[in-house]
Structure 1
Amino acid sequence: MTNRKVETQSLDVILNRMVEVMNHSKTDIFIISEQSRQSFDEMKVELEKIRGEIETVIFEGDLLEEKSKLSRNRLAEVSKHFESFDEAQVRSAYETANEIQIGLLIKRSEEHRLRERRDDLDRRLQNLLEMIERADHLVNQVNIVLNYLTSDLKQVGEELENAKIKKDFSLKIIEAQEEERKRLSREIHDGPAQMLANVLLRSDLINITYQQRGGEEAMKELAALKETVRTALTEVRRIIYDLRPMALDDLGLIPTLRKYISTIEEYNPKIKINFQVFGEEHRLLPNFEVAIFRLIQECLTNSSKHGQFREAWVKIEWVQQKINIIVKDNGIGFDPNVAKEKSFGLIGMRERIELLEGTMKVISSPGNGATILFSIPFNEK
């Protein structure tokens, strides 16, 4: 018994040391990721500035090109009728043509330099983006290990014989938690985070716009900036609501869906979602109701983000021991046969359907909207 206690204490010391090392590693990765993000944002601002300078240089170069043509024509006329011009006029024609040509060469050289700088920034931005993605992936992996190490497995004691069962079960729970965190992180990164980064970028550009194009153009840019902030706020509210609709536990699936659809229409007055229910509603197990709610939510989110619909239809049919769901929109549609490795929405829905032992069918084509059909068996008990 004493030997077992000593072994347990030694194992706890080892685990604590591992957790400490992993935490330091996680902090280091996070610092690298944040520094990379800061560099990424700074390079984006510089890239926009370079692009503006390229446009200006091209415009000025085109003006010099026209002046060069006129000066060459003037020079040709002077050369042709040399005897009709005095020495000062001849010298002026030659000097003007030479001066314009030198200015044109300088502008074209500057344009070439700016284009090389732009291409270099594009490459560096791509490299930084890949580094940020790798850092995020590493942080997720470290989180899984940390959660596992800091779980009840630290107090092994007399339960060492059941370690394999506990390990498998714990890992499944941790992986599910991390997947949900990754989904939330992805939504924040692709939504509010990108919008706020755009706000930062455009706020820097307003001053440049004011200096180069005047106050009227700067005010237009400011109005667009306000709209971006408004959209970001809406997206944050949606994500907060998406974390857990409290009405689901109290009211059930159908009332919660009605409230959710009403909320979508409130925040997006340009769209219309028709909701119909057929048959007698059943209260299901909480996990089933959450999963079905998430499926419909994911469909509407994908349609809103990618389908650009103006009207959608959600139909639910309750039949004996089965619920059939149709979500349809009149958006731009897509080709289901085209491989979409990064279509996280469809992947997530298929995973949920597999867990529910149901079926899913996608019907869509470019320009003809999208229809997704679910059939899910259930047992009220």
Structure 2
Amino acid sequence: MAEKTIDIQSLEHIFDNMVNVMDQSKNDIFTISEQSRQAFQEMQNELGIIKEEISRVITEGDYLEDMTRHSRRRLADVSKNFMKFSEEEVRKAYETANDLLVRLSINRMEEKQLRVRRDELDRRIAALLDTIERADQLVNQVTTVITYLTSDLKKVGEALESARQKQDFAIQIIQAQEDERKRLSRDIHDGPAQMLANVLLRSGLIERTYTEKGPVEALSELNQLKEMVRNALLEVRRIIYDLRPMALDDLGLIPTLRKYVSTVMEYEKDVTIHFMNNGTEKRFESNFEVGIFRLVQECISNALKHGNSRDVWVKVEWLRDTMNIVVKDNGKGFDQNQTKEKSFGIIGMRERIELLKGEMKIISSIGNGTTVFFRVPLLETNLVE
């Protein structure tokens, strides 16, 4: 018995060490990723400045080239009619031509150096993007493994028929969580964070614009800056709304769905969502209303993201003891006979409709759009007085 206890303790110690090493490795990879992101942003800012400098140098070079041609013609005229000009005029013609030639040479050298730096930044930015993507994939994979190793799968296993199902289901849940965290991180980084970084860069250029081009151009830059801040605020509100529609608890399901549809159309200017509600809405407990909202939200998201739909129809019908929901789009559709390994959105909808004790049916074919039917029983136990 003592030997067996010692063996178990040794195995636990080895397992804990392995998890700790993996966790430290994940943190190291994450640090590398964040450092790469910071370097990427700095290079992007520098690249923007370099491009502006190149534009300025080219404009200046074109002007110097015109002036050089003019001075050469003047010098040729002076040389040809040497006796007609004074010694001072001849000297000035030669000095002007020589000075413009030197300035043009310096300008071309500066342009060449700026172009070399621009090309170098482009290469380094491309390499950094590859590094960031690889680091994100590694962090995601290591986190999935660590979570899977350290999670208690027994509670999940009670609802599954075999160990194989238990493993697959647990990994899918963990992967979905990590994908959602990664999506939220990307939304913040590519949306508000990027916009605010651009605001910081543009704010530094306003003073320079005022000095070089005057108050009119500076005011134009300031108006563009205000628009960027406004867009960043709208993006933050969209992300918060996607996480949890706060209006759901206050207003109820139908007003929140109308607001969501309106918000989507604000962001997707070429998309029209036709919303219809038949019958008298009833208020149900929060989990029930959130479940219904997420089902409709997932259908609309799939129609726009995967189906490339431009028109979506949403119909909610309230009956005495049943709610019927139809979400139809005119997108590209899909082949239902082909199993998609990563169709976790559909899996999630099926699980959610099962929790609501309802039914779901999907009709779709390539080129003919997709229609999703939901039938949800309105149980008295979920009703809010």
Deviation, 1:288, is 6.2
User: Are 2:328 and 2:369, in contact at CA under 8 Å, matched by a contact in 1?
Assistant: yes
Match of 1:295 in 2: 299
Please list the CA deviations of residues 207-265 of structure 1 after superposition, one character each: whole Å capped at 9, or x if unmatched: 43334333443333233222222221221122112113366689875443124235567
C-alpha distance after superposition, 1:11-41 (max 9, x if no partner): 3322321221122112211211121122112
Call closer, same or farther: CA 1:326–1:235 in 2, change over 3 Å: same
Shift of 1:144: 0.7
**Secondary structure of the structure 2 residue equivalent to 1:325:** strand
Change (3 A) 1:255 1:4: farther
The match for 1:374 among 371, 376, 381 is 371
What's the CA shift for 1:95?
2.6
Deviations 1:81-101 (A, max 9, x none): 233223333333223222212
Task: Give the 5 Å matches for 1:163-182.
Answer: 166-182=166-182
Counterparts of 1:85 and 1:353, CA distance in 2 = 91
- Cα–Cα, structure 1 residues 196 and 379, in superposed 2: closer, same or farther, change >3 Å? same
Match of residue 358, structure 1, among 352, 359, 362: 362
CA contact 1:317–1:323 (8 Å) conserved in 2: yes
Say whether 1:185 aligns with 2:185.
yes
Which sections of structure 2, spanning at least 5 residues, go unmatched? 156-161, 334-341, 352-359, 380-385
> Which residue pairs with 1:131 in the alignment?
131
What's the secondary structure of 2:328's corresponding residue?
strand
8 Å CA contact 1:258–1:275 kept in 2: the answer is yes
Alpha-carbon distance between aligned partners in 2 of 1:4 and 1:379, rounded to the nearest angstrom = 54
Per-residue deviation, 1:4: 6.1
User: Deviation string for 1:101-132 (max 9, x for gaps)?
Assistant: 22111111111111111111111112112211
1:324 and 2:329 are equivalent in the alignment: no
Q: Does residue 1:86 correspond to 2:86, yes or no?
A: yes
Seq. identity, %: 50
Quick check: 107-116 or 73-82, which moved more? Answer: 73-82
Q: Which amino acid aligns with 1:173?
A: I
Deviates more, 1:271-280 or 1:218-227: 271-280
Confirm or deny: 8 A CA contact 1:15 1:154 kept in the other structure: no
Equivalent residues in 2 for 1:1-381, closer than 5 Å:
6-152=6-152, 166-245=166-245, 254-261=254-261, 274-277=274-277, 290-297=294-301, 299=303, 314-316=313-315, 323-327=325-329, 358-360=362-364, 373-376=370-373, 378=375, 380=377
Greater Cα offset, 315-324 or 215-224: 315-324
Rounded to whole Å, the distance in 2 between the matches of 1:142 and 1:214 is: 54
Residue 21 of structure 1: SS of its match in structure 2? Answer: helix
Aligned length: 349
Tell me the secondary structure at the aligned position of residue 245 of structure 1: coil
Counterpart secondary structure, 2:373: strand
Aligned to 2:327, the other structure's residue is in SS state strand
Change in 2 beyond 3 A, CA 1:286/1:261: closer
CA distance in 2, matches of 1:200, 1:32: 24
Q: CA RMSD in A?
A: 4.3
Q: Could you tell me which amino acid in structure 1 is paired with residue 373 of structure 2?
A: I
Return closer, same or farther for 1:285/1:244 CA change in 2, 3 Å cut-off. closer
On the 8 A contact 2:257/2:293 being kept in 1, the answer is no
Pair 1:270–1:152, CA change in 2 (3 A):
closer
Q: How far apart, CA to CA, are the structure 2 residues paired with 1:154 and 1:15?
A: 19
Cα-to-partner distance string for 1:296-326 (whole Å, 9 max, x where unaligned): 25656899xx99x9xx764326599974323
TM-score normalised to structure 2 length = 0.73
Change (3 A) 1:321 1:268: closer
* 2: CA distance, partners of 1:269 / 1:296: 15
